[in-house]
Amino acid sequence: MVVIGEHRHTQVHVDLQAIKHNINEEMTRKDPLTELWAVVKANGYGHGIIQVAQAAKQAGATGFCVAVLDEALALRQAGITAPILVLGIVEPEFAAVIAEHDISVAVGSTDWLAQAAAVLAANQVAQPLHVHVALDTGMGRIGFQTPAELADAVNVLRAANSPFDFEGIFTHFATADQADDTYFMHQLSNWKALIAVVDELPRYVHVSNSATSLWHQACNGNVIRFGVALYGLNPSGTELSAPYHLQPALSLTAELAFVKKLARGKSISYGATYTAAQDEWIGTVPIGYADGYERRLQGFHVLVDGQVCEIVGRVCMDQLMVRLPKAYPVGTKVTLVGTDGDQTISLQDVADYCGTIHYEIACGLATRLPRVYTDGESD
């Protein structure tokens, strides 16, 4: 059972209109014949898989990408009938489930094809299993690495009475979000050498994640896997500027649960790592590392009444403390990600302080945090 903190004033807010804005911006740039598939894996990068998928579909997405089979099944159960591609390797023992739910999967070995074919035969599955052949051009995760291996796989897929639908072929670039394109061009060369052995390319040919489409648009195949940019986050962090405004969809707020005056010389939280240098007003905020708000954020800040307030003492599992400029009533809004007055804290700001990327911060926000959705078209 998943427990959500509905009776605590700590929430993730998701602006579905921002999702639509980001898709609309990409739709105006791309070739009209190129499809946009929304990447909604990892619970929509922490934003909510079903709600994001529905908003993306409204904005023009014609397909979806996920990481594990259960995410694809959740989309099907929600009534989504568009193509869904599982980008990770699914165990061949689930081949019948994949085919019966009209889901597409990534394949990186002929052994997988042989095992999946046996499962389909044993279960007398009539529907073909949709396959996207993964090519490892330099990412080093999954996929065929040599022309000979790829040629063998294509022969298996196109053999008489094959139980497979050779629907797509793809790769993933490791450095598309970097200013130095040396390795990107190396991968692109490998991609071209590999696909040269495929006499007739399948329906879907795709290499572009968000970064590739933003900064290497000429490489787009006929599908863009629109991932982190969908959520208004720059794939490169701060290294490259996006060609259009990316509107962040996520904010994170709480309320002051307790306010007290702390006397000079008294300490706060585990390890007593913070000691008040003078009498101070301290507010307790009901969020902690169990919610995905990192313990290492001690010394970072939140916004209260538009004021920057430092996090003092170690972040606890469920609570943290901030130094306030004055006494505020319990229930005063606290912004941990988002804008208050003329101050803004972005996911990038949080990530920079933690020495990581905004992907990790967004994906790490726990399911205990309720997601609250707004949509400018209907609100």
Is 326 a known active-site residue?
Answer: no
Closest residue by Cα to residue 164 from 222, 221, 106: 106
Alpha-carbon distance of 23 to 16, in angstroms, equals 11
- The backbone torsions φ and ψ at residue 372, rounded to the nearest 5 degrees and listed phi first, read -115, 125
| CA contacts within 13 A on the Cβ side of 366 | 17
Q: Which is catalytic among the residues 192, 266, 270, 293?
A: 270
Alpha-carbon distance of 123 to 267, in angstroms, equals 65
Query: Any idea which residue has 């313990």 for tokens?
Result: 295
Helical ranges in the chain per DSSP H:
16-29, 41-45, 49-59, 69-77, 95-100, 110-122, 147-157, 182-195, 210-215, 347-354, 358-364
Alpha-carbon distance of 309 to 148, in angstroms, equals 60
Report helix, strand or coil for 361.
Answer: helix
Instruction: Strands of 258-379 (E only): list them.
Output: 258-262, 267-268, 274-275, 280-285, 301-304, 307-310, 320-324, 333-340, 343-345, 371-374
141 in a labelled binding site:
yes
Is 183 a known active-site residue?
Answer: no
Alpha-carbon distance of 185 to 291, in angstroms, equals 40
317 in a labelled binding site:
yes
Q: Which is catalytic among the residues 41, 45, 274, 293?
A: 41
CB atoms within 10 A of CB 322: 24
Alpha-carbon distance of 36 to 30, in angstroms, equals 9
Which residues are tagged catalytic? 41, 270
Residue numbers belonging to the annotated binding site for substrate: 141, 317
Residue numbers belonging to the annotated binding site: 141, 317
